[in-house]
């Protein structure tokens, strides 16, 4: 009974906060748009009994999913989101790995301070940090003023409202999710393995590629998933930093829900996005299971 009570808590949490909302969104995606409250039809009336349920079930269809395949906007938004999320993950890895490697090589007394510096941005509101980047990247912003004052450019660069600003925003926002798993993996690295590799004739660079990098693989995989999954559905960063020219599925989803008030199509977009993200989520879970088994 105690074991059942312990296991039932997370399952109830998933049921209440994931499965039930997903089923509601799935049901709305099979409905039709209507000028009503709620803005879709059919709605289930339990007072009509079994006959009402059969009538409600017969009116559900997949026209919204068919519409997604016919309009170029949606599949282009999915592809653009995949591209931006993938490149952002690669950039976060290129920036985050040296930071994590430096933290793992730092003296023990400095590591808590360095860890705090990585986590420190989370103490500030996410929106405030994104708005700060607008002030930094605008044509009259701090970055252009700095570059012009030191003579690297003669006129302001156009960074804001481009995909470049979106990459900067995503990498900055999700960089800690890349650094922390890699640091956790590198911190457990046995220094004697590197010494043995160098004693056997490996240079430091060769020892890094043959010893350090393979042992950090689990952290790299975990960090990449932790960056890619939320970046895929990102809405705030492309809206504030990318402008109208940046096409991402999160922006399309918001516009369908709140601007067009087309809940059925928006729900269909959300269902497809979730199905796309299930693949990296499942891969991430398998990677975590392998990591736990390897640690036993």
Question: What is the domain-level CATH number for residue 187?
Answer: 1.10.3720.10
Burial of 149 (0-12, 13-18, 19+ CB in 10 A): exposed
Specify if 40 maps to a domain: no
The reply to whether 284 falls in a domain is yes
Total number of domains constituting the chain: 1
Walk along the chain (296 residues) and give the pLDDT tens digit of each residue: 777 777 888 888 888 888 898 899 999 999 998 887 888 888 887 777 788 888 888 888 899 999 888 888 899 999 999 999 999 999 999 999 999 999 988 888 888 899 999 988 888 888 899 999 998 998 888 888 988 888 888 888 888 888 999 999 999 999 999 999 999 888 888 777 877 877 778 887 888 888 888 888 888 988 998 999 899 989 889 988 987 778 899 889 988 888 888 899 999 999 999 888 888 778 777 777 776 776 65
Q: Residue 2 domain-assigned?
A: no
Whether the CB-CB separation of 234 and 254 falls below 8 Å is answered with no
Residue 30 near residue 62 (C-beta atoms within 8 A): yes
In this structure, is residue 53 part of a structural domain?
no
Residue 266 lies inside a defined structural domain of this protein: yes
Burial class from Cβ neighbours inside 10 Å (0-12, 13-18, 19+) for residue 224 reads buried
23 lies in a domain? Answer: no
Look up the domain containing 269 and give its range: 67-295
Whether 45 is in a domain gets the answer no
Note whether residue 86 is domain-resident.
Answer: yes
């Amino acid at each position: 009974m105690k074991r059942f009570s312990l296991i039932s808590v997370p399952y109830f949490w998933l049921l209440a906060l994931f499965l039930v909302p997903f089923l509601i969104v799935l049901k709305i995606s099979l409905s039709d748009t209507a000028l009503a409250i709620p803005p879709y039809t059919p709605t289930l009336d339990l007072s009509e009994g079994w006959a009402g349920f059969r009538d409600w079930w017969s009116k559900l269809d997949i026209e919204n999913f068919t519409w997604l395949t016919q309009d170029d906007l949606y599949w282009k938004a999915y592809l653009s989101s995949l591209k931006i999320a993938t490149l952002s993950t690669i950039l976060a890895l290129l920036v985050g790995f040296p930071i994590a490697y430096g933290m793992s090589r730092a003296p023990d007394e400095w590591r808590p301070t360095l860890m705090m510096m990585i986590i420190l941005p989370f103490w500030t509101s996410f929106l405030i940090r994104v708005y700060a980047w607008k002030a930094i990247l605008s044509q009259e912003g701090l970055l252009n003023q700095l570059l012009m004052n030191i003579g690297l450019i003669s006129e302001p660069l156009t960074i804001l409202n481009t995909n470049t600003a979106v990459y900067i925003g995503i990498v900055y926002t999700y960089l800690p999710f890349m650094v922390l798993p890699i640091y956790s993996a590198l911190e457990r690295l046995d220094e004697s393995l590197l010494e043995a590799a160098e004693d056997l004739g490996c240079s430091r660079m060769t020892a890094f590629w043959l010893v350090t990098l393979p042992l950090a693989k689990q952290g790299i995989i975990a960090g990449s998933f932790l960056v890619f999954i939320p970046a895929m559905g990102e809405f705030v960063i492309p809206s504030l930093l990318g402008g109208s020219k940046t096409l991402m599925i999160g922006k399309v989803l918001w516009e369908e829900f709140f601007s067009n008030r087309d809940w059925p199509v928006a729900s269909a977009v959300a269902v497809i996005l979730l199905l796309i993200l299930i693949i990296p989520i499942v891969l991430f879970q398998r990677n975590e299971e392998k990591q736990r088994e390897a640690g036993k």
